[in-house]
Structure 1
Amino acid sequence: MKHFTRLALAGALAAATAGASMAQELYAPNLAYRTGPFAATGIPLMNGQADYMTLLNERDGGIGGAKIDFEECETGYSTEKGVECYEKTKGKAIVTQPWSTGITLQVLPKTNVDAIPILAPGYGFSPMMDGKTFQWAFNTPAGYWDAADMIIQYLESQGSLNGKKIAFLHLDHPYGKEPIPVLEQLAAEKGFELSPIPVGLKEMQNQSAQWLQIRRMRPDYVVMWGWGAMNAGAITEAVKTKFPMENFLGVWWSGHDADLAIAGADAKGYKSISWSFPNMDAPVMKDIQSMVIDKGMSKTDETEMKGVFYSRGIVISAILAEGIRAAQAEYGTAEINAEQLRWGLEHIDMTEERIVELGLDGMVPPFKTSCANHTGHSGGWMLEWDGEKFVKVSDLLTPNVAGYQALAEEKAKEYADANAPWPVNEGCDAM
């Protein structure tokens, strides 16, 4: 029945895009980072993204009859190289995927002029949730402020935070600083003490100074906004200093299986909030295995495929594909342009039923975007490392967006004023 439903939807889309069988390819480049200091996390993400698009091309003939050109432009996670990749690809691209908060901030003002949407799933500048101000930027399905709120919600479910100490161990980079405004606001509201502890790019693998500070501080919890080698370095130090793992939590980019595998059973109890979850029994995984991997069209391996980051890459490409489908149906053409895709990304409706139709069972929570809401605020699950893999240890948590909506509007206005003249979509309703 599920297969029939997918076929019916595909038929309806094909009818809406008559003549699509002759359509040209849609160019959706990815600013990848398979090299550099964060390659270990970038590789499984890029593999998952690429494999899903390859599946759509092989199984469905693309999207709406148009094959997807998912070319990668290697940035090494360098902001300078990322901007170069953006400039190189923007001419014919229908989307740009920066894959770094630093790169996102650099290209954000350019997209207004170039009229090309930014897709930054689960990262980037949090006030991009305000679609009225940031017409071309999307950080679906959840943003960093959502993550900070959900982590605090989870901790509060374990007991009052009033009088507690929380150390905020973060990469000293725009990405690592993103949640600080919301964490500071929550600290004032809930009565906990927040102590930011930055980790420089050159300190990622040797955090002895930071963990000495944590040991002296004796916080009740450590919340980590780490990335790449910083994650493994922090987990290693936590084990070495015998910090209780059950009180150590990270954002979704700090929940990479390979980082935890280094410590193995010693890291048992570590937690990470996540808007994606690997489900090897999901139909999409079986299709990728038979139609992509078994045909030698993938760079992944069996271990990586079971991990959180590979499946997250699949979900990210599925989100992009949904935006493309929505735009094709609205405009009656397979060969959509960047401006039409922007409309499509504003009209994603990932219901539970649609998630199942896509074969993504249990891999992503439901969410919906709109002209004013460019994030979707899907919510997420708290995952815990059981010594070998991540498992869910919470029901779906949903962010209290109303709690920081005013802050988002304030920061969005500050950004627009600082970059004036800044076009605002007055046609959008409030968030």
Structure 2
Amino acid sequence: MKHFAKLAAAALVAGAMGTAALAESLYAPNLSYRTGPFAATGIPLMNGQKDYFEMLNARDGGIGGVKIDFAECETGYSTEKGVECYEKTKGQAIVTQPWSTGITLQVLPKTNVDRIPILAPGYGFSPMADGKVFQWAFNVPSGYWDAASMIINYIDNEAGISGKKIAFVHLDHPYGKEPIPLFEKKAAEMGFEFLPIPVGLKEMQNQSAQWLQIRRERPDYVVMWGWGAMNAGAITEAVKTKFDMSKFIGVWWSGHDADLAIVGEDGKGYKSISWSFPNLDAPVMADIKKHVVDAGISQSNETEMQGVFYSRGIVISMILAEGIKTAQDHFGTAQINAEQLRWGLENLNITEARLAELGMEGMVPPFATSCANHTGHSGGWMLEWDGAKFVKVSDLLMPDTSDYADLIAEKAMEYADANTPWEMNEACNVTN
């Protein structure tokens, strides 16, 4: 009888704790950048992220009965402010979303001590793909070396890349330099000339010197790793110098509708590799309109909501939401902590069937993560500007990860050695 009395008392306590937990929220702050030189690209991304969680909170009461507190901490894309935001938010947060390769590199060693996962969809430090070394970092669903691989293979399939000259116009910033090791490796292997052309932060809106160099060098293709005002500046210069836009390909952060809208028809043929795509007829868009837009709580507008970056913001928040749900289901609690979310993010399985359940068909390719694979390598589509909007001009393209698996492992261990003592997930191996 005493045993049963203790069980009953324990059940009452557990019930009370469960009720308290449901009254709380999960703190998932976003290190946003609605101001500064990159605001034009940051705003639609932040709006898409915010609207997805607003929809979940309104439609479903959050995730697992717990609402999501997705408060923003404004960084202006400044690394210094980003670190300040990280320190300010990390105490109660279950995740950090740095939103800059520079900020990611600064907080990466901190998160390994603070034991809080970094979610950096499609950006950050490419070797974060190695889940054994970077157990707290995720750059799902596709990384910068995936993007470089897909672009190189696309050019090779279209025109044969051997003997070609590829100019690489990139932001002179950690983000812009990320894919250079892979481009250099593949140039040596495939026999093409790789010509890096950096653009400084103060040159983003005046790239006349860079495009004069491009005119002199006469590259067969220009690949762009730009961000914010740099993209519009490069696209405008390309049109001005009459560069063949069909030979101009950007990474996914250089595929913003508003940048191409500046040149309109003159930008026709410009391409961008992308792991996301807007599907305006997707059920999730109808739910966002019903629960968020019609309720007057969206900061977006009709034009922005039709674009690639707003849609990508939705996909990014979906990835985080699925990580939360996966963790909740596994650990049997709605009020998960940062360590449990880490498990959720490395056990994602975003199948076509799951995308259909989420009402997001065609908006992101399927992908899965694991203990060893924190990127997912989802692949992407080549998008092309048709003069008014981006359209898909390829089937799903996949990166050739065998090209850089050794490079990921090498650079990951270099990082760990340089930051010793560095805690790794010793239980993880390449088959996990």
Provide the TM-score with structure 1 as the length reference: 0.95
Give the structure 1 partner of residue 79 of structure 2: 79
Matched, 1:167 2:167: yes
CA contact (8 A) 1:20 1:333 kept: no
| In 1, Cα distance between equivalents of 2:186 and 2:351 | 30
The answer on 1:109 being equivalent to 2:134 is no
Report the CA distance between 1:331 and its aligned residue: 0.6
**Which secondary structure state, in structure 2, belongs to the residue aligned with residue 29 of structure 1?**
coil
Partner residue, 2:156 = 156
Deviation at residue 283 of structure 1 after TM alignment: 0.3
- Tell me the residue number matched to 2:132: 132
- Alpha-carbon distance in structure 2 between the residues aligned to 1:192 and 1:294: 52
- TM-superposed CA distance for 1:157, in Å, is 1.1
Name the structure 1 match of 2:389. Answer: 389
- For 1:207 and 1:99, the matched residues in 2 are separated by 25
* 2-structure distance, mates of 1:308, 1:289: 17
Q: Is the 8 A contact 1:20 1:64 kept in 2?
A: no
Q: What is the DSSP-based 3-state SS (H/G/I as helix, E as strand, rest coil) of the residue aligned with 1:281?
A: coil
The alignment's C-alpha RMSD in Å is 1.1
> What residue is the counterpart of 1:267 in the other structure?
267
Match of 1:371 in 2: 371
What corresponds to 2:242 in structure 1?
A: 242
Matched, 1:232 2:241: no
> Conserved in 2, the CA contact under 8 Å of 1:20 and 1:66?
no
Q: Aligned residue for 2:12?
A: none
Show CA shifts across 1:72-130 (max 9, x none).
Answer: 00000000000000000000000000000000000000001111000000000000000
Match in the other structure for 2:429: 429
Partners of 2:354 and 2:329 in 1: how far apart?
16
Q: Report the AA paired with residue 87 of structure 1.
A: E
How far the C-alpha of 1:18 sits from its partner, in A, is: 7.2
Determine whether 1:122 maps to 2:107.
no
Structure of larger gyration radius: 2
- Paired AA for residue 365 in structure 1: P
Distance 1:63 1:137, change over 3 A: same
Q: Is the 8 A contact 2:127 2:408 kept in 1?
A: yes
TM-fit CA distance, 1:21? 7.8
Q: Which amino acid aligns with 1:139?
A: N
| TM-score (normalizing by structure 2) | 0.95
Shift of residue 214, structure 1, vs aligned partner: 0.3
> Which consecutive residues of structure 2, in runs of 5 or more, have no partner in the other structure?
1-16
> Cα distance, 1:255 vs. partner?
0.1
Q: Partners of 1:95 and 1:258 in 2: how far apart?
A: 30
Shift of 1:159: 2.1
**Quick one: distance in 1 between partners of 2:56 and 2:402?**
37
CA contact (8 A) 2:33 2:76 kept: yes
Q: Is the 8 A contact 2:21 2:335 kept in 1?
A: no
Alignment partner, residue 99 of structure 1:
99
What is the number of residues matched between the two proteins? 415
**Distance in 2 (alpha carbons) for counterparts of 1:22 and 1:415:** 40
Shift in alpha-carbon separation, 1:21–1:134, aligned structure 2, 3 A: closer
Contact 1:21 1:65 in 2 (8 A): no
Contact 1:141-1:377 within 8 A present in 2 as well: yes
What is the CA distance between 1:430 and its match in structure 2? 1.2
8 A contact 1:108–1:118 mirrored in 2: yes
Instruction: Report the 3-state secondary structure (helix = DSSP H, G, I; strand = E; otherwise coil) of the residue aligned with 1:167.
Output: strand
CA contact (8 A) 1:20 1:65 kept: no
Hey, what does 2:53 align to over in structure 1?
A: 53
Equivalent positions of 1:406-417 (< 5 A) are: 406-417=406-417
For 2:265, what is the secondary structure of its paired residue? helix
Contact 2:44 2:310 survives alignment (8 Å): yes
Query: Cα offset for 1:374?
Result: 0.3
Give the Cα–Cα distance (whole angstroms) in 1 for the partners of residues 375 and 275 of structure 2. 12
Which residue identity is paired with 1:336? Answer: I
Aligned-pair CA distance for 1:20: 8.6
CA distance in 1 between counterparts of 2:243 and 2:368 reads: 39
Residue matched to 1:212:
212
Match of 2:9 in 1: none
1:347 corresponds to: 347
Secondary structure at 1:323's aligned position in 2? Answer: helix
Q: What is the CA-CA distance between 1:160 and the residue it aligns to?
A: 1.4
| Mapping 1:174-185, distance limit 5 Å | 174-185=174-185
* Separation in structure 2 between the aligned mates of residue 212 and residue 159 of structure 1, nearest angstrom: 25
Paired amino acid for 1:318: M
Deviations 1:243-281 (A, max 9, x none): 000000000000000000000000000000000000100
Q: Secondary structure at the match of 2:272?
A: strand
Deviation at 1:284, TM superposition (A): 0.2
Residue 131 of structure 2 aligns with an amino acid whose one-letter code is: G
Matched, 1:312 2:323: no
Inter-partner Cα distance in structure 1 for 2:164 and 2:269 = 20
Paired amino acid for 1:128: M
Instruction: State whether residues 311 and 363 of structure 2, in contact with CA within 8 Å, keep that contact through their aligned partners in structure 1.
Output: yes
Q: Note the C-alpha offset of 1:22.
A: 2.6
In 1, the alpha carbon distance for the partners of 2:427 and 2:20 equals 31
Say yes or no: does 1:255 pair with 2:246: no
Q: What is the letter of the counterpart of residue 371 of structure 1?
A: C
Shift of 1:50: 0.2
User: Contact conserved, 2:22 with 2:334, CA < 8 A, in 1?
Assistant: no
Check conservation: 1:23, 1:334, Cα contact below 8 A. no
Secondary structure of the residue aligned to 1:365 is coil
Moved over 6 A (4+): none
**How far off is 1:403 after superposition?**
1.0
Q: Counterpart of 1:278 in 2: which secondary structure?
A: coil
Match of residue 4 from structure 2: none
Query: What is the Cα deviation at residue 19 of structure 1?
Result: 5.5
Indicate the residue corresponding to 1:323 in structure 2.
323
